Every structure is written in structure tokens, then in C-alpha cells.
């Protein structure tokens, strides 16, 4: 019989996920990122149970994290017949990922401030 050790969110994990959501990271991506930051490795099923997300939400988050090159995937033969199980780990430290998010948010803020400045210039020309 298999013994599963699923990690569940702590209040601190919830707080970090909420902070990520607050800066514009999608809820499912935030929760998966926080979960993987605190787990050495995890299957989709572990992530679903630990974050209280549904399978499609986890899949969408994993696709986004893969596109960002923030996760690594490997396959492990399942104990029963069927497809191999995918096992996920962060490919970078959570600090490096936060640095990347910070740079992107600063770039977005600069772009919006530039647009506001252009609007002010347009208004003053009238």
C-alpha cells in the first residue's frame, strides 16, 4: 500500500499566494508557485490536494509556469497500469522567480506611466 505525504497550505503560504494575486499573478499560478516553492517535488494530484485547486486549474498553471521556464518535469512509472505520472519541481529558486516577476512589474509600471505622460501631453496641446 502506498503512503502519501501531501503538503497542505499554511496561513503563511496563503498570505504569500494572496500577495502574488495582489500584484496581478493569476490565483491558480500563485497557489501552484507557492506550493512548489515549499515542496521538493510534486505530482499534479499532490498539487490539486495541497492547494485545493481543480485539475484543469493546475494544468493551466503548469502550462504557464512551463512557458516561463520556471518548472522542470519528469515522468515516473505509475504504480498501476496507465500513463506515467508527471513530477514537477521548480527549475529556479523562488527568489529568482520573484526577481523576474519584480522586473516585469516594474517594466509594466514604467509603460503605464509613459502612457499617462503622453495623455497629459495630448491634453495640454488642446
Q: Quick check: 88 and 73 in contact, CB under 8 A?
A: yes
Quick: pLDDT tens for 38-57: 998 999 999 999 999 999 99
Q: Write down the residue that cell numbers 499554511 correspond to.
A: 10
Q: Write down the residue that cell numbers 496641446 correspond to.
A: 125
What are the CA-CA distances from residue 125 to residues 43, 112, 115, 116, 117 (Å)?
58, 20, 15, 14, 13
Quick: pLDDT tens for 71-117: 999 998 877 777 888 999 999 999 999 999 999 999 999 999 999 99
Q: Domain extents for the chain?
A: 1-91, 93-126
CATH architecture type of domain 1-91: Orthogonal Bundle (1.10)
Amino acid at each position: 500500500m502506498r503512503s502519501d505525504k501531501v503538503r497542505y497550505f499554511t496561513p503563511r503560504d496563503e498570505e504569500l499566494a494572496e500577495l502574488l494575486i495582489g500584484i496581478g499573478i493569476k490565483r491558480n499560478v500563485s497557489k501552484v508557485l507557492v506550493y512548489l516553492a515549499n515542496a521538493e517535488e510534486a505530482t499534479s494530484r499532490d498539487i490539486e490536494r495541497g492547494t485545493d485547486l481543480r485539475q484543469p486549474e493546475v494544468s493551466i498553471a503548469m502550462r504557464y509556469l512551463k512557458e516561463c521556464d520556471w518548472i522542470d518535469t519528469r515522468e515516473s512509472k505509475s504504480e498501476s497500469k496507465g500513463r506515467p505520472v508527471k513530477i514537477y519541481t521548480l527549475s529556479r529558486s523562488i527568489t529568482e522567480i520573484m526577481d523576474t516577476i519584480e522586473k516585469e512589474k516594474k517594466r509594466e509600471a514604467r509603460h503605464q506611466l509613459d502612457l499617462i505622460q503622453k495623455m497629459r501631453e495630448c491634453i495640454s496641446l488642446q
